[in-house]
Each structure stands twice: as structure tokens, then as C-alpha cells.
Amino acid sequence: MAKRKTKYVCQECGYESPKWMGKCPGCNNWNTFVEEMEASNTGKRHTFNVGLKSAGKPEKITAIESQKEPRVTTSMKEFNRVLGGGVVPGSLVLIGGDPGIGKSTLLLQISSQLADKELPVLYISGEESTRQTKLRADRLGVKADLLYVLSETNLFDIAKQIEEVQPSFVVIDSIQTIFREEVSSAPGSVSQVRECTSELMKIAKTNGIPIFIVGHVTKEGAIAGPRLLEHMVDAVLYFEGERHHTFRILRSVKNRFGSTHEMGIFEMKEEGLREVMNPSEIFLEERSQGASGSTVVASMEGTRPVLVEIQALISPSSFGNPRRMATGIDNNRVPLLMAVLEKRVGLMLQNQDAYIKVAGGVKLDEPAIDLALAISIASSFRDQPTRPDDIFIGEVGLTGEIRRVSRIEQRVQEAAKLGFKRVICPKRNLDGWTIPKNIEVIGVQTVQEALDEGLAR
């Protein structure tokens, strides 16, 4: 009998090696190699003929008719926005998040809403029995007749059930529990995840069935398994939020059919997730009035402007090296802006500890928040509060200049809608649009001008 060959596969990037290594040459991570059996060429291999269509012939791109992708909308407008307007037929969507954050709850509610539109949905759970899924459905009030539930982990059996039920939508919860019999490695390994996702993608594309896949995350917050899992799917959504808080954020980091930076806000209640239509009010409702170090910025999350509070605490350092800590923004941005304030404005911040926080648990990464962050630092250092009805928008350059930002009109309209009276923004952003009547827009060119306008005297 022929001896089965083994190989070692990195569980982070999929790098293969004939022998075990402590450090992966592909991704430079330690202790990620796992022994797996090589697949035999003579072994039986299942093929999934789930109504597969015959291969087409190449066509000239000029002869192909352009048409808009039809989308199926759910009752959750926030979910539709994150996907770019609704669910695209034949799409493969990956949803990741921490354990217990609400991924299964969200997908069960979405499945119920789609089934209520006379569209059959097959919900496949590899982690729970059908009775456990039924208990969650009773708690959420799910009573759709066209919602089918299956507890299965074998991909061959799953494909057979898809062929029999002929659903319009499929949910896989989760991809780390699904396995193929021909692959000898354990479920959740690189080989299993790659093979299973490849077959699910084939089923989705050839039959026009949208498939939602739940993916576990690592302790660093990334999708568990190889990075190629994110490359294979059409959209990658992250479900974020603190488990002990009620608000959840659904963020799009990849989307072939829409914006890649959309964000949807949900509130977790006893009867399930409820969408938050105006997140700016939620992020600003607990803001302290008259406190130094607090500013508000209008940040763009995809196509939606969101008003968020930035808080800064500057205090004298008792150590040789001052501390620079930030939550919700890039840590490297804080010392950069403090260096600009010290060099261009004259604030002696080299012996000061700096603690920065974005209220509400939002993560901001666009350059337009630079000005609000710099004003917060200066406000806390001078112990001078800003006016409570001011908004700060702008990118700060290393020479102290305030550079223009995109979509200034939408940002100002959102600020005016929530009752703010003044917007301090780059001077070059004042042309080419109409300023709302109930708000004042002040253009500045340098950080010094912004400080003179923004800090209350």
C-alpha cells in the first residue's frame, strides 16, 4: 500500500512546505504551520452539478450589452446601504466579526425578511442544531414559511440540498465548520476553507444564487484563515462593536458592487437588531458642554456624512518619554499633529502626555479629521473649550496649511441639519457650491487661523 505523503501548510497565508518551520517565509508569522495529508490523485472526488450551466464562448467587449445589476432589497435600509443598494444575484458575501457580536442574529433577520418577499432562503448552520436555530428564531419573531433551516457540515450534502430546495438565497454559518471529504485536513484549515469557498463560489456564479458566508476572526480582528478567502468573495463586511454595549457597526471593507467604506449602525435589543437611521445624534448625545479638548468633525463613511466627537486629554508627563495613546484613529497621526502644533503654532507639547479618543467606538481614517484633532489637542493644552456649535473639517499639512477635502457640501448640510451654527473648513473649499442659510462657513488657510477662530476667548 502506497504511503500517504504529508505537507505543512501555513494557516495564515497558505504557504506550503515539505517540512515544518517555525517561521513562515510567506507572511513572517510564527508557529502557523499545520501538518496536512496531500490529496491522492486516484481518490474519489465529488463534483457538484447543482444545475451548472454550460461554459460560454468568448465575446467581444464591444458586443456585450451593458445593463444595471438587479438588486434585491431587504427591510433594513442600513444593510442595503452597506451592500451598495441591495443584494446582487450570484454574489458571494463574507461577514466577519467577534464571537457573540450578532452575526447569526443579523443573517437570520435578513433571511426572514427575504423569505417574507416570497423568496425561498436556505439557512445552513454548521455550529448549531435546527432546534437551537428555532429558539433564536422564536426570540426574534421569525415566522417565515419559505425559510428553510439545515444543520450540516458536509459540503457534498449541502450542495445536494441546494439542488433540491432551489433557494433564492443561501446562508452558510460558518465557513470554518464546512468540510470536503476529499480533503484530509480538519475543518477550518487553509485547504478546507479554500476548497469549500471555491465550490460555493461556483454554485453562486453559475446559478445566480447570492450566498452569505460567516467567517470567524482572529484575536487581531482579521478574518480567520488565508487572505485568499477575502480575495475570492465579492464583498467583505465586518460586524464590529463592544459586546457589553448595544450599538453595532456593519462596515464594508471590500465591495465589487458598491462603495468600499460604507457603514451601517444597528442597536442590539432583546427582540433583535434595529437599525439606527441617524447615527450622528447617537454619537453626540452624551457630549459635555463647555469641556476643553472636545471638538466635532464631519467624517465621510462611504457616501454618508457622520458627525463624531473627538476628545483629547493633554497633561504634563511624569516620565522621560511622554505617552501618545489614541483610540479610534491611527496612533502615528497624534505625534505628527503635535509636532506641527509645536513647530508652527508654538505650543510646547514635547513634555506632555496625549490621550486621544473618538467617542462612540467609531474608527476614523480619512485626512479630513486632522483639523478637529489638532484643535482638540490645543484646546486641552490651553484649557480653553471650543464653541459647542462649531464643526471642524480639514487636512493639516506639515507646514501648517489647511488643505481642501472632498464632499464638503454633504458635510456642511449634515452639520446644519443637526443644529450646528459654524463650520471651520479649508478656504479653498468655499467655491463652487451653495452654503445653507442657517449655518456660517468660515474658511481658514493655516492652523493658527483655525485656532484663532475656534477656541473660545
Whether residue 101 is annotated as binding a ligand: the answer is yes
Task: Please name which of 400, 318, 312, 311 lies closest in space to residue 352, comparing C-alpha atoms.
Answer: 318
Mark 174-208 as b/e (b = at least 16 C-beta within 10 Å): bbbbbbbeebbbebbbbbbbbbbbebbbebbebbe
Amino acid at site 223:
I
Whether residue 99 is annotated as binding a ligand: the answer is yes
Whether residue 104 is annotated as binding a ligand: the answer is yes
- At residue 370, φ and ψ (nearest 5 deg) are -60, -45
Whether residue 294 is annotated as binding a ligand: the answer is no
Whether residue 160 is annotated as binding a ligand: the answer is no
The three-point CA angle 257-260-266 to 5° equals 100
All three cell numbers of 25, joined, read: 517565509
CA distances from 400 to 347, 403, 430 (A): 13, 9, 19
Start-to-end C-alpha separation, the chain: 88
Whether residue 98 is annotated as binding a ligand: the answer is yes
Whether residue 100 is annotated as binding a ligand: the answer is yes
Whether residue 97 is annotated as binding a ligand: the answer is yes
Residue 120 CA to its chain's centroid (Å)? 28
Task: Please name which of 110, 137, 108, 109 lies closest in space to residue 124, comparing C-alpha atoms.
Answer: 108
All three cell numbers of 156, joined, read: 457534498
Task: Please name which of 204, 5, 239, 222 lies closest in space to residue 109, comparing C-alpha atoms.
Answer: 239
> Which positions ≥6 away from 142 have C-beta within 8 Å?
108, 109, 111, 112
Pairing of strands 6-10, 16-17: antiparallel
Binding residues, by number, are 97-104
Binding residues for ATP, by number, are 97-104
